[in-house]
Amino acid sequence: MVTAIVLTVITAATPLLLAGIGELVAERAGVLNLGLEGMMAVGAVGGFAGAALTGSTTVGIVSAGLAGLLLAVPFAFLVINLAANQVATGLALTLLGLGASAMFGESFIGKPGLKLPALDIPGLTSIPVVGRIVFGQDALVYISFLLVAAISWFLFRTRAGLMLRAVGDSHDSAHNLGIPVYAVRWAAVLFGGCCAGLGGGYLSLAYTPLWTENMTAGRGWIALALVVFASWLPWRLVVGAYLFGAVAILGFHAQGLGVRVSSQFISMLPYLATIAVLVVISRNKLVLRANTPACLGRPFVPAR
């Protein structure tokens, strides 16, 4: 029973963690991307289509990441090069992504998909409880943790990470020091789009290996809230993603134990938790200001 609950939490948390770590990097560079939901949607249909058409889940993973990255390109051009409003552009991107995913995914509705295979290490995966949890996950679960470790190292242990944080904290000062602000922000946004696409791909390749319209179900918005919850620190994002993943499946296991819980209330739980967390964080100004990039959401226009 414990193993089943933990495995379900992992599947619920992984897409949030993948999308959240990409958004964290983009926001550290000073770009607020409200288009995560749309990027996850195109990632979901891209991953499903890639796997279904080629018979390879590896191609599906690559297709999901590329789909999210491609949708990030027009967003990056508008908000970085043309200094468009990031909030309005991000919302437009979400609508574009949801519409495009519905259009391209129409022919895949009702078709069986390929499920990402889980790792199976003889002698380790069969260990009671711990075996399936630690050594029996699919590739994207391990990729999500590797990304968190790599981004944590990159942001706080490398010169390039310092440059990225400098751009997010003061793009004018970074520009005066010779840091290529546009290039840094482009790289951060494209990375964020790729991660959001992988998060969407996880939904159609592992969480439920099929394609349905709007299968992201607001997870992009939760991932955005998780970045604030984590105060822009990668390892806190892991805690937040798994906490929200636990909340998301709590009601279903309660129903399985015979507790009478409305299915509508169960669907509301992750979003209620999101609102509650944001309210608590917003009341603590010290925590909110601790790691918030000073130039978050502000367009960079170099002095001429």
In the predicted structure, residue 195 carries a pLDDT above the cut 90: yes
> What is the tens place of the pLDDT at every residue in 3-46?
778 888 899 999 999 999 999 999 999 999 999 999 999 999 99
In the predicted structure, residue 200 carries a pLDDT above the cut 60: yes
Q: Which of 143-147, 207-211, 255-259, 283-287 has the highest mean pLDDT?
A: 143-147
Largest CA distance in the chain: 68
> What is the tens place of the pLDDT at every residue in 70-106?
999 999 999 999 999 999 999 999 999 999 999 999 8
Question: H or E element: which one contains 189?
Answer: helix 181-202
DSSP string covering 207-258? ISSS--TTTTTTHHHHHHHHHHHTTT-HHHHHHHHHHHHHHHHHHHHHHHTT
Would you state the pLDDT for residue 230?
A: 87
DSSP string covering 70-112? HHHHHHHIIIIIS---HHHHHHHHHHHHHHHHHHHHGGGTT--
- How many other CB atoms are found less than 10 A from the CB of residue 66? 20
Q: Is residue 286 part of a domain?
A: no
> Could you give the CA distance from residue 67 to residue 208 in angstroms, rounded to a whole number?
19
Q: In whole numbers, what is the pLDDT of the chain averaged over residues?
A: 89
pLDDT (mean) for 48-65: 95
- Of residues 251 and 120, the one with the higher pLDDT is 120
Total domains present in the chain: 1
> Could you give the CA distance from residue 35 to residue 193 in angstroms, rounded to a whole number?
9
Would you state the pLDDT for residue 287?
A: 63
> Could you give the CA distance from residue 112 to residue 215 in angstroms, rounded to a whole number?
15
> Could you give the CA distance from residue 219 to residue 14 in angstroms, rounded to a whole number?
11
Share of the chain above pLDDT 90, in %: 63
> Could you give the CA distance from residue 125 to residue 201 in angstroms, rounded to a whole number?
25
**Residue written as tokens 């015979």?**
258
> Could you give the CA distance from residue 68 to residue 57 in angstroms, rounded to a whole number?
17
Q: Is residue 9 part of a domain?
A: yes
Q: Is residue 266 part of a domain?
A: no
Query: CB burial class (10 A; 0-12, 13-18, 19+) of residue 64?
Result: buried
> Could you give the CA distance from residue 146 to residue 182 in angstroms, rounded to a whole number?
27
Helix pair angle (181-202, 57-76), 10° resolution: 140
256-274 core/surface letters (b: 16 or more CB in 10 A; e: else): eeeeeeeeeebeebbbebb
**Residue written as tokens 């999210």?**
68
pLDDT (mean) for 227-252: 85
Would you state the pLDDT for residue 116?
A: 92
> Could you give the CA distance from residue 96 to residue 83 in angstroms, rounded to a whole number?
19
Q: Is residue 179 part of a domain?
A: yes
Share of the chain above pLDDT 70, in %: 90
pLDDT (mean) for 190-208: 95
Q: Is residue 49 part of a domain?
A: yes
Q: Is residue 27 part of a domain?
A: yes
pLDDT (mean) for 271-278: 74
Q: Is residue 262 part of a domain?
A: no
Distances (CA, A) of 253 to 4, 123, 246, 278, 292: 10, 30, 10, 26, 36
Q: Is residue 11 part of a domain?
A: yes
* Closest listed residue to residue 40, CA positions, set 206, 194, 211, 271: 194
- Of residues 260 and 150, the one with the higher pLDDT is 150
> Could you give the CA distance from residue 13 to residue 219 in angstroms, rounded to a whole number?
10
Would you state the pLDDT for residue 292?
A: 86
Query: CB burial class (10 A; 0-12, 13-18, 19+) of residue 80?
Result: buried
Would you state the pLDDT for residue 167?
A: 97
Domain that holds residue 10: 2-218
Would you state the pLDDT for residue 191?
A: 98
